[in-house]
Structure 1
Amino acid sequence: MTGFTDPQAVARYAEGPVRQVPGFHGLQQMTTVLLAEHAPADGNVLVVGAGGGLELKVFAEGHAGWRFVGVDPSAEMLALARSTLGELAARVDLHEGYVDTAPEGPFDAATCLLTLHFLPAPERLHTLREIRRRLRPGAPLVVAHHSFPQSEPEKTRWLQRYAAFAAASGVPFANAANAIAAIGSKLPALSPEHDEALLHEAGFEDVALFYAGFTFRGWVARNPG
């Protein structure tokens, strides 16, 4: 997974997702709703890719009884998460590292938002399996990330639409064009069908698409039990 270590990039992080992820705030709200379907009022939630703290803040504000474990490979992003959370940080235990660094749990729910697209398929499968291993039976997982067709001309069409959205949201067009060039050539993104198959292969059930925004997709799934 790519770590965010550039201080300027970290400082700008909070404004980026709103401009670059269609329905970013709605995605966080929907994730909270999906977690609450199964997580108890005093639930313990695992957040993989927690750097920045944006979703942690939404989750913590929405459910005062939940506690959280957040994992991220970037020390700089974890520092930003602590700043973002403020007093809410008292309910969050942050760990620098990857999913293998996370405590064994068991957890009542888990999320991995805007993170899995950094991982090639084998590492992605490993991450999903390790998350599931840490979940209680019946606990939900919510994931969302870049996931779009990998064959042409559909791949280019959706990347261009994503660039147009970013530009319309205030990202300079040259930056948006550079971004889709990098996403298309360097990011190990998968097709939605492949992403969904990996969730099943990792052992999850009730896999369902709940979010789609240009090049992004989001699924909710449950640990069997």
Structure 2
Amino acid sequence: MNQDELKALFDQQAADYDARWARTRPIRDCLHLLLDSAFAPLPQDARILCVGLGTGAELLHLARNHPGWQFTAVEPSGAMLALCRQAAEREGVSARCHFHEGYLESLPATDGFDAATCFLVSQFILDPAARSGFFNQIARRLAPGGILASSDLAADVASPAYDVLLRAWTSLMAAAEVPADAIERMRDAYTRDVGMLPPERIAAIIAAGGFQPPVPFFQAGLIHAWLSRRGDHVP
């Protein structure tokens, strides 16, 4: 799936995206709980880069808890970003946010961010070299020692464990009232449109982008998350 197709897909899904995934919110809430601890060392005036943030759940969570933080939101789907902006306005945090519609490479060259989030984004980049290049773009925008919290769908699809996790995952989606046809499309997408790789391979891709060895800090079903710090020598 190319960038235009991906943007169109999320534009189409934006209106009911949050409602569709509402019953899986405990997964997101747990990830955000651990994110709070991961970002605890950041300064009171931290600058946070949120890459591919969709409707803005992680930005809103962090902004509520840290009134001195500033945020740059990067999202290629204009429909998703509009919902993020509206939610930030309702929460009274939009004055601390810069909203950029487009992919990360279109964000004007900026560095010095204290931390970045990138949740369920890099999985759509199928070429490993391009995927490392994506993480390199994040690394080059972070201050030395800046923290990246990232997550992706991950599994060794050739292993018996994948079949077990996939069955559990699709059962979870069904229990969350995700329509059956959407679940079937999701299963197909995992083999065609998602770079589903073993967790250790994704960690290596992140490291090749200019980060210290990533540390796993969260897993829920097929979702894995890592903490990484910008390396001393970013390519």
How does the TM-score come out when normalised to structure 1? 0.91
**Does residue 84 of structure 2 align to residue 95 of structure 1?**
no
| C-alpha contact (below 8 Å) 1:35/1:141 kept by paired residues | no
The superposition leaves residues 160-200 of structure 1 with CA deviations (integer Å, 9 ceiling, x where unpaired) of 22101111222234432332232233322222111011122
User: What is the SS of the residue equivalent to 1:175?
Assistant: helix
**Does residue 14 of structure 2 align to residue 10 of structure 1?**
yes
The superposition leaves residues 41-80 of structure 1 with CA deviations (integer Å, 9 ceiling, x where unpaired) of 1001111002211111001001110000111111111101
Deviation at 1:20, TM superposition (A): 4.7
Identity of aligned residues (%): 31
Relative to structure 1, is the Cα distance of residues 156 and 181 closer, same or farther in structure 2, using a 3 angstrom cutoff?
Answer: farther
User: What is the SS of the residue equivalent to 2:131?
Assistant: helix
Q: For 1:16 and 1:139, locate their aligned partners in 2 and report how far apart those are by CA, in whole Å.
A: 33
Q: Which residue of 1 aligns with 2:206?
A: 199
Q: For 1:189 and 1:95, locate their aligned partners in 2 and report how far apart those are by CA, in whole Å.
A: 28
Relative to structure 1, is the Cα distance of residues 210 and 18 closer, same or farther in structure 2, using a 3 angstrom cutoff?
Answer: farther
Match of 1:24 among 13, 25, 28: 28
Q: Which residue of 1 aligns with 2:48?
A: 45
Match of 1:182 among 185, 189, 203: 189
Q: For 1:206 and 1:122, locate their aligned partners in 2 and report how far apart those are by CA, in whole Å.
A: 17
Deviates more, 1:16-25 or 1:51-60: 16-25
Q: For 1:47 and 1:195, locate their aligned partners in 2 and report how far apart those are by CA, in whole Å.
A: 19
Q: Which residue of 2 aligns with 1:80?
A: 83
**Does residue 113 of structure 2 align to residue 107 of structure 1?**
yes
Q: For 2:159 and 2:215, locate their aligned partners in 1 and report how far apart those are by CA, in whole Å.
A: 26
Structure 1's unaligned 5+ residue stretches are: none
The superposition leaves residues 52-110 of structure 1 with CA deviations (integer Å, 9 ceiling, x where unpaired) of 11111001001110000111111111101111212211111011111112341210111
Letter paired with 1:182: A
Q: For 2:138 and 2:53, locate their aligned partners in 1 and report how far apart those are by CA, in whole Å.
A: 14
Q: For 1:145 and 1:20, locate their aligned partners in 2 and report how far apart those are by CA, in whole Å.
A: 16
Match of 2:225 among 198, 218, 223: 218
Deviates more, 1:198-207 or 1:56-65: 198-207
Ranges of 4+ aligned residues in structure 1 off by more than 4 Å: none
Give aligned pairs, total.
222
Structure 2's unaligned 5+ residue stretches are: none
Q: For 2:184 and 2:25, locate their aligned partners in 1 and report how far apart those are by CA, in whole Å.
A: 15
Relative to structure 1, is the Cα distance of residues 197 and 206 closer, same or farther in structure 2, using a 3 angstrom cutoff?
Answer: closer
How does the TM-score come out when normalised to structure 2? 0.87
User: What is the SS of the residue equivalent to 1:137?
Assistant: strand
Deviation at 1:115, TM superposition (A): 1.1
User: What is the SS of the residue equivalent to 1:136?
Assistant: strand
User: What is the SS of the residue equivalent to 1:198?
Assistant: helix
Deviation at 1:208, TM superposition (A): 0.6
User: What is the SS of the residue equivalent to 2:53?
Assistant: coil
| C-alpha contact (below 8 Å) 2:155/2:197 kept by paired residues | yes
